Amino acid sequence: MDIQEYFSLVFSDYTLRTITLGTAILGAICGMLGSFAVLRKQSLLGDAISHAALPGIALAFMITGTKDTNLLLLGALVSGLIGTFWIRGMITKTHLKSDTALGLVLSLFFGFGMLLLTFIQKQPNANQAGLDKYLFGQAATLVEKDVTLMAIVTGMCLIIMLLFWKEFKILLFDADYTKTLGFNTRFIDILITFFIVLAIVLGLQTVGVVLMSAMLLAPAAAARQWTNKLSVMIFLAAIFGAFSGVFGTAISASQNNLSTGPVIVLVAAVFVFISFIFSPGRGILFKQIRFWQNRRDLKLQKTLQFMFDIAKGHEDISHPHAIKILNNFQGYTKGSLKKMEEKNWVEVEGQKWSLTHDGYTVAKNLYTQE
Amino acid sequence: MSAPQIEIQLIAAIVAIACAIPGVFLVLRKMALISDAISHSILPGIVIGFFLTEDLNSPLLILLAAITGVITVILVEAIQKTGLVKEDTAIGLVFPALFSIGVILIAKNANDVHLDVDAVLLGELAFAPFDRLLIAGIDVGPKSLWVMSLILSITIGLLIAFFKELKVSTFDAGLSSALGFSPVVLHYGLMSVSSVTVVGAFDAVGAVLVVALMIAPAATAYLLTSDLKKMLMLSIIFGVSSAIIGYWMAHLLDASISGSMTTVLGVVFLVVYLFAPNKGLIAVMYRQKQQRTEVSLLTFLLHLNNHTEESERHINHLQEHINWQRVRSKTVLDLAQKNNMITIVNSIVTLTPKGKEFTDLALEYIVTNKDEKIEHMKDDFFLFRG
């Protein structure tokens, strides 16, 4: 199946439609909530929580004995939240830093989860196969019920975000000020964190434990490059996320042996890469161009200043001087003289140059900021 | 114990030591998550190495994978330098992308490669003794034992040779460069050693659990000591003992060895986290509670010092004026009375001479912020110990 065929099938084929819709919604919600995570400098929280969710899945299975997705995800949610609050406890109560706390929760919970999973695999009831799909995710196992759940959570999350928009925003940018205004910062904080954990847990089934953090980060990091406004950033991140989901699914469906999760992550990484380079305000390309422009302008100005120093000794500022004397000055080239002539700063006649009135005023005010 | 069992424990112990040493420095340099990033992003290096060599323990593969690890660090730093995103975001962007490339490479070549992602992520220590190293046809032991021993001896050699430099650059990068030890060289040295260790160990314990072996022993030791040498020793002890206990637990439960090693590490960390003498959770909470009471006591004494009128010094007035709960007022009153700082006559509180003296000293300290005023009180009070 090639990509064209995929797009013609998306609307008619049940499985493809469900998966595409699922990954798109997942991408959107991850982008939205990921924006908060990125701006709160909690980028790697996603990585830690997605790993921390694993023992929850295993325990939920051990207790209930069913493979009902919702129950397993509930277990994941609980253990993800425990992990999150333990991370916070470690950072606030001990001198361990956030990177250590994140790394600890990530690896310890995951290891414990692995212990439980291997333990379950050795148990006699053969019902357990497939639990390890949560490691790497299998978009193909998405059914309509899962997509509905995702849609409901996304809707809830949108409503809460709109209701608490002001609080979320102010907490994001100035936590102390928020506190002095009398907002319950603890509650708002927990609310945001809860939704981030929820989004991560939802994504486990599709992209898996390992790649979930990129789902959360990449769209937000890409969106950040295009705007300085929170609402625009969240909107853009949701769009980037949704497109990564759709394109990723399309590419992986059109090739053999390509799991969806990694492809989605790579598509999102391409979005980030493009944003890093081509965004007009912050992108590397335009930054470099601006840098070159500034350097050229500065060179011209330095030459002008040099000319000004020569010219100001004469009564007539437009008294012609030999071009030769400029050769001692480093910033001078034939090109720069031509540029200055274009700007009407100097006039060139044969082997002589003279400062114009415009050039004189510009040079005079060069360092006075007028 | 059979021979393979001894060999497995030996490998586990060596891996634990080899991970603990760079782990200590990563934790101290606040770069613990770099180990996570490296452990994931070496996957494409391993896969490409495996295409070339068909052997998970070949030196070429280890070299290629270790180079991928160092490239990860360079990429993360390059992204940080652009200033477009924060440091942690840079880490979070780089390693999933590289990991995805690895997963896709494996998936696309699934037919010719006997390498699956589970094995890379989780490792299987139980199989390690079956891959023997043959020298001139003689069996000299499991390959991974030799590989890890080599890595460990290089690590220890470098640690002893550059201990002073590492110490200085870890705690004071500025001083280190002023003294002429380039922090950059040491940084990349440490990154290379970590990278090589992760690559060597992933085969035995898997990519994620390498992270546990690096961070957990170091973090546990860090809660118990502030001395670098002691911290190194302690984390080695924690690492090795968890590895061996973990092995036997896995044996008992018939479950994944690496998973149970991590679980033991987790339990050890949890116990230390709760009960460590000075930095543990319980100690910290106790200290904070004491400090709260002492601040209350001080506030109370200052209040008494300010008011001579009886209405302001009535016991019941405290609740209204300083806005304390009943229990809190009672605790503070009891504490003050026990220390002979106040007397209570007919529910009217009065400062004793000792209380007055204490209050004056405390006041002077608050005003001048000079330590010598309260030097002799430090033994009795948490608050002034800083």
How far does A295 lie from chain B, in Å, by closest CA? 19
Please judge whether B93 and A262 are an interchain contact, meaning their C-beta atoms are less than 8 angstroms apart.
no
Please judge whether B104 and A41 are an interchain contact, meaning their C-beta atoms are less than 8 angstroms apart.
no
Q: Is pLDDT at B125 greater than 80 in this prediction?
A: no
Query: What is the spatial distance between Cα A154 and Cα A173, in angstroms, rounded to a whole number?
Result: 24
Q: pLDDT tens, A106-163?
A: 999 998 988 888 888 777 665 555 666 777 777 777 888 888 988 999 999 999 999 9
How far does A362 lie from chain B, in Å, by closest CA? 34
Q: Which of A119, A217, A257 sits opposite B89 (nearest CB)?
A: A217
Q: Is pLDDT at B215 greater than 90 in this prediction?
A: yes
Task: Kindly identify which residue of chain B lies nearest to residue A210, measuring between CA atoms.
Answer: B96
Please judge whether B100 and A263 are an interchain contact, meaning their C-beta atoms are less than 8 angstroms apart.
yes
How far does A336 lie from chain B, in Å, by closest CA? 31
Task: Kindly identify which residue of chain B lies nearest to residue A219, measuring between CA atoms.
Answer: B93
pLDDT band at B116 (very low <50, low <70, confident <90, very high): low
Q: Which residues, 6+ apart, have CB-to-CB distance to A342 below 8 Å?
A: none
CA angle B199-B202-B205, nearest 5°? 150
Look up residue A42 and give its two tokens: 């909690």
Enumerate the residues of chain A whose CB falls inside 8 A of the CB of residue B27. Answer: 100
A241 vs B131: which has the higher pLDDT = A241
Do residues B235 and B4 touch, judged by C-beta distance below 8 A? no
Chain position carrying tokens 């809460």:
A160
Q: What is the mean pLDDT of chain A?
A: 85
Q: pLDDT tens, B314-355?
A: 777 766 666 677 777 777 778 777 777 788 777 777 788 887
Enumerate the residues of chain A whose CB falls inside 8 A of the CB of residue B89. Answer: 38, 43, 217, 221
Confidence (pLDDT) at A307: 81
Do residues A353 and A298 touch, judged by C-beta distance below 8 A? no
Please judge whether A104 and B86 are an interchain contact, meaning their C-beta atoms are less than 8 angstroms apart.
no
Query: Is A33's Cβ below 8 Å from some Cβ in B?
Result: no
Task: Kindly identify which residue of chain A lies nearest to residue B107, measuring between CA atoms.
Answer: A257
| CA torsion, ordered B9, B10, B14, B17, to nearest 10 deg | 60
Query: Is A172's Cβ below 8 Å from some Cβ in B?
Result: no
Query: Is A318's Cβ below 8 Å from some Cβ in B?
Result: no
Average pLDDT score over residue span B373-386: 58
Q: Which of A118, A225, A265 sits opposite B100 (nearest CB)?
A: A265
Q: What is this structure's pTM?
A: 0.85
Confidence (pLDDT) at B158: 93
How far does A194 lie from chain B, in Å, by closest CA? 20
Please judge whether A38 and B280 are an interchain contact, meaning their C-beta atoms are less than 8 angstroms apart.
no
Which of A342-351, B170-179, B215-224, B351-360 ranks highest by mean pLDDT?
B215-224
B129 to each of A145, A243, B3, B132, B240, how far by Cα in Å?
46, 47, 9, 7, 19
Task: Kindly identify which residue of chain A lies nearest to residue B206, measuring between CA atoms.
Answer: A111
Enumerate the residues of chain B whose CB falls inside 8 A of the CB of residue A117. Answer: 256, 259
Q: Is pLDDT at B375 greater than 50 in this prediction?
A: yes
Please judge whether B30 and A282 are an interchain contact, meaning their C-beta atoms are less than 8 angstroms apart.
no
Interface test with A, best of B24, B31, B33 (most A CBs within 10 A): B33
Q: pLDDT tens, B234-291?
A: 999 999 999 999 999 988 988 888 889 999 999 999 999 999 888 888 998 888 888 8
Q: pLDDT tens, A39-60?
A: 888 888 888 998 999 899 889 9
Element holding B357 (H helix, E strand): helix B353-368
Query: What is the spatial distance between Cα A342 and Cα B65, in angstroms, rounded to a whole number?
Result: 56
Query: Is A93's Cβ below 8 Å from some Cβ in B?
Result: yes
DSSP B112-160: T----HHHHHH--GGGGGGSEEEETTEEEEEHHHHHHHHHHHHHHHHHH
Confidence (pLDDT) at B386: 45
How far does B110 lie from chain A, in Å, by closest CA? 8
Please judge whether A111 and B285 are an interchain contact, meaning their C-beta atoms are less than 8 angstroms apart.
no
Q: pLDDT tens, A184-242?
A: 888 988 898 899 999 888 888 888 887 888 889 999 999 999 999 999 999 999 999 99
Do residues B41 and B52 touch, judged by C-beta distance below 8 A? no
Do residues B282 and B43 touch, judged by C-beta distance below 8 A? no
Query: What is the spatial distance between Cα A289 and Cα A285, in angstroms, rounded to a whole number?
Result: 6
Q: Is pLDDT at B218 greater than 90 in this prediction?
A: yes
Q: Which residues, 6+ apart, have CB-to-CB distance to A39 below 8 Å?
A: A172, A220, A224, A230
Enumerate the residues of chain A whose CB falls inside 8 A of the CB of residue B100. Answer: 211, 214, 261-263, 265-266, 269
Counting one residue from chain A and one from chain B, the pairs whose CB atoms sit within 8 A come to: 197
| CA torsion, ordered B17, A87, B202, B264, to nearest 10 deg | 60
Chain position carrying tokens 């415009």:
A358
Query: Is A113's Cβ below 8 Å from some Cβ in B?
Result: yes
The alpha helices in chain A, defined as continuous H runs, are 3-9, 14-39, 45-64, 69-93, 98-121, 133-136, 144-163, 165-173, 175-180, 185-224, 230-254, 260-278, 284-311, 334-342, 357-364
Average pLDDT score over residue span A319-341: 76
Do residues A218 and A35 touch, judged by C-beta distance below 8 A? no
Confidence (pLDDT) at A229: 92
Q: Which of B85, B92, B218 sits opposite A213 (nearest CB)?
A: B92
Average pLDDT score over residue span B175-188: 86
Please judge whether A217 and B93 are an interchain contact, meaning their C-beta atoms are less than 8 angstroms apart.
yes
The fraction of chain B above a pLDDT of 90, given in percent, is 26
Q: What is the mean pLDDT of chain B?
A: 83
Q: Which residues, 6+ apart, have CB-to-CB distance to A329 below 8 Å?
A: A303, A306
Average pLDDT score over residue span B164-185: 86
Do residues A354 and A347 touch, judged by C-beta distance below 8 A? yes
Between B169-183, B211-225, B349-363, the lowest mean confidence (pLDDT) is in B349-363
Q: Which of A93, A265, A272 sits opposite B284 (nearest CB)?
A: A93
Q: Is pLDDT at B163 greater than 80 in this prediction?
A: yes
Confidence (pLDDT) at A348: 81
Interface test with B, best of A82, A100, A117, A136 (most B CBs within 10 A): A100
Between B58-62, B98-102, B161-165, B327-331, the lowest mean confidence (pLDDT) is in B327-331
Q: Is pLDDT at A5 greater than 90 in this prediction?
A: no
Task: Kindly identify which residue of chain B lies nearest to residue A262, measuring between CA atoms.
Answer: B100
A1 vs B362: which has the higher pLDDT = B362
Enumerate the residues of chain A whose CB falls inside 8 A of the CB of residue B93. Answer: 214, 217-218, 221, 269, 272
